[in-house]
């Protein structure tokens, strides 16, 4: 049975994050977006609030909360700007939760704990110039030499590529299986920025998420110790898919924030703007748009809550997470577009935030599985052509506390 009532901890987290995003980032986000400038200090402030490790157990430097908490953080951050939620997706969802689940205790203490505390920033490297949804089309490789692995390859469209300290690098460790497109020949490694042969760069001219850092990184004969292999050799594809599920969840919750922001901006504008001698809030077609945004918000919010609840219980959730990601991202594009129409010509100007919402939300329909990929996945599940695999219990049981001090008070 799903309990829809948030705990006091959940409410406190939501209010803390909302206050942070509205007070610290919202007044500056227009300028950052125009300049295509990423403000590194925002990460430090998020770390001070223990957001970067919000759902990582306290044993490894985190705040010890649950998936619902992670979802609330993502929704509140993206209600102000997508660039904020992206940090949670790649640092916490794709990287840290993967390390927590697949890493050794030594790896967790060396890499995960500093990440959870925000002392180190992390990201995830799967996409390549010639390989996106087609994961086995990747060309990156690793070869074993004594007690080291020698890594080569280039990753593209990587969030925080020019900011992160630690990277998850997916590549082929079996050349014969690569030729056969057998994904059991892929493995995953931890790479540090300072390693010889590592380089990175920033992509400019993006349509949206201009206040975020997106780029590429390249490895040329980068040597990593054998202890930097995550899981077992040949488990890279499985680990990558696990990571993407965590990322999809954060994207779903974040996209829900875009819907809410679009609705709120439209409501405020409709109650202020007048045409034909009355406020546009009285026009039926304006009401229709706002009503659809309201419905889309509630549906998307419930979908990610359900996925989060399943994750908390350790129940199969791939189908629910995929559905939440698919629907929330598609509905966020719809909501942002309608919000521009409610604003009329003003919506086409960056004097109002709705044009930024539309530019930003488009990326989420592409990454962590495109709209088309999720459409096919949902059809295959419905048709019985795809079976949902058992889930593993990832996080320890969440125990609400009325006086928890691991997330800073507002």
- Cα angle 66-72-74, degrees, rounded to a multiple of 5: 105
The rounded distance, in Å, linking the Cα atoms of 356 and 349 is 9
With both helix axes pointing from N to C terminus, report the angle between 236-270 and 284-313 in degrees, rounded to the nearest 10: 150
Q: Which of 404, 325, 403 is nearest to 369 (CA)?
A: 325
Please check whether residue 107 is in contact with residue 96, taking contact to mean a CB–CB distance below 8 angstroms. Answer: no
> Where are any strands of DSSP class E within 83-147?
122-125, 141-145
Query: Looking at residue 185, what DSSP letter applies?
Result: G
Residue 147 main-chain phi, psi, to 5 deg: -95, 20
What is the CB neighbour count within 10 angstroms for residue 165? 16
Known active-site residue 333: no
The rounded distance, in Å, linking the Cα atoms of 366 and 185 is 26
Please check whether residue 332 is in contact with residue 255, taking contact to mean a CB–CB distance below 8 angstroms. Answer: yes
Question: Residue for token digits 């009285």?
Answer: 282
276 conformational bin, left if phi > 0, alpha if psi -120 to 50, beta if neither: left
Structure-token pair, residue 305: 């809550």
- Between the alpha carbon of residue 211 and those of residues 22, 32, 119, 204, 329, the distances in Å are 15, 5, 21, 11, 19
Q: Looking at 341, 368, 388, 405, which residue is catalytic?
A: 368
The rounded distance, in Å, linking the Cα atoms of 183 and 177 is 7
Please check whether residue 394 is in contact with residue 97, taking contact to mean a CB–CB distance below 8 angstroms. Answer: yes
**Active-site residue numbers?**
368
């Amino acid at each position: 049975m799903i309990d829809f009532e948030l705990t006091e901890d959940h409410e406190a987290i939501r209010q803390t994050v909302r206050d942070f995003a509205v007070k610290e980032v919202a007044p500056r986000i227009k300028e950052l977006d125009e300049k295509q400038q990423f403000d590194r200090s925002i990460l430090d402030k998020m770390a001070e609030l223990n957001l970067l490790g919000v759902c990582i157990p306290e044993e490894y430097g985190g705040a010890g909360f649950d998936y619902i908490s992670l979802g609330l953080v993502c929704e509140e951050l993206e209600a102000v700007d997508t660039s904020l939620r992206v940090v949670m997706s790649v640092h916490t969802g794709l990287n840290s939760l993967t390390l927590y689940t697949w890493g050794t205790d030594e790896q967790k203490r060396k890499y995960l704990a500093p990440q959870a505390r925000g002392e180190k920033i992390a990201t995830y490297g799967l996409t390549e110039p010639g390989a996106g949804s087609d994961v086995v089309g990747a060309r990156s490789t690793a070869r074993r030499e004594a007690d080291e692995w020698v890594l080569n390859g280039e990753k593209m469209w990587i969030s925080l590529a020019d900011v992160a300290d630690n990277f998850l690098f997916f590549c082929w460790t079996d050349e014969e299986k690569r030729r056969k497109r057998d994904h059991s020949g892929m493995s995953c490694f931890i790479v540090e920025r300072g390693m010889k042969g590592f380089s990175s760069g920033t992509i400019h001219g993006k349509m949206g998420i201009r206040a975020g850092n997106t780029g590429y990184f390249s490895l040329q004969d980068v040597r990593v110790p054998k202890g930097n292999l995550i899981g077992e050799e040949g488990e890279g594809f499985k680990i990558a898919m696990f990571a993407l599920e965590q990322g999809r969840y954060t994207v779903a919750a974040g996209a829900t924030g875009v819907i809410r922001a679009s609705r709120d901006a439209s409501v405020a504008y409709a109650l202020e703007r007048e045409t034909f001698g009355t406020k546009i809030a009285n026009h039926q077609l304006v009401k229709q748009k706002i009503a659809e945004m309201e419905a889309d918000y509630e549906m998307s919010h419930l979908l990610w809550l359900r996925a989060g609840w399943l994750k908390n219980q350790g129940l199969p959730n791939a189908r629910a997470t995929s559905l939440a990601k698919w629907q929330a991202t598609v509905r966020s594009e719809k909501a942002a577009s309608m919000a521009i129409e409610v604003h009329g010509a003003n919506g086409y100007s960056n004097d109002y935030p709705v044009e930024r919402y539309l530019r930003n939300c488009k990326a989420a329909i592409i990454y962590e599985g495109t709209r088309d990929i999720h459409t096919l996945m949902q059809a295959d599940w419905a048709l019985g052509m795809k079976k949902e695999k058992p889930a593993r219990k990832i996080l320890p049981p969440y125990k609400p506390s009325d006086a928890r001090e691991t997330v800073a008070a507002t």
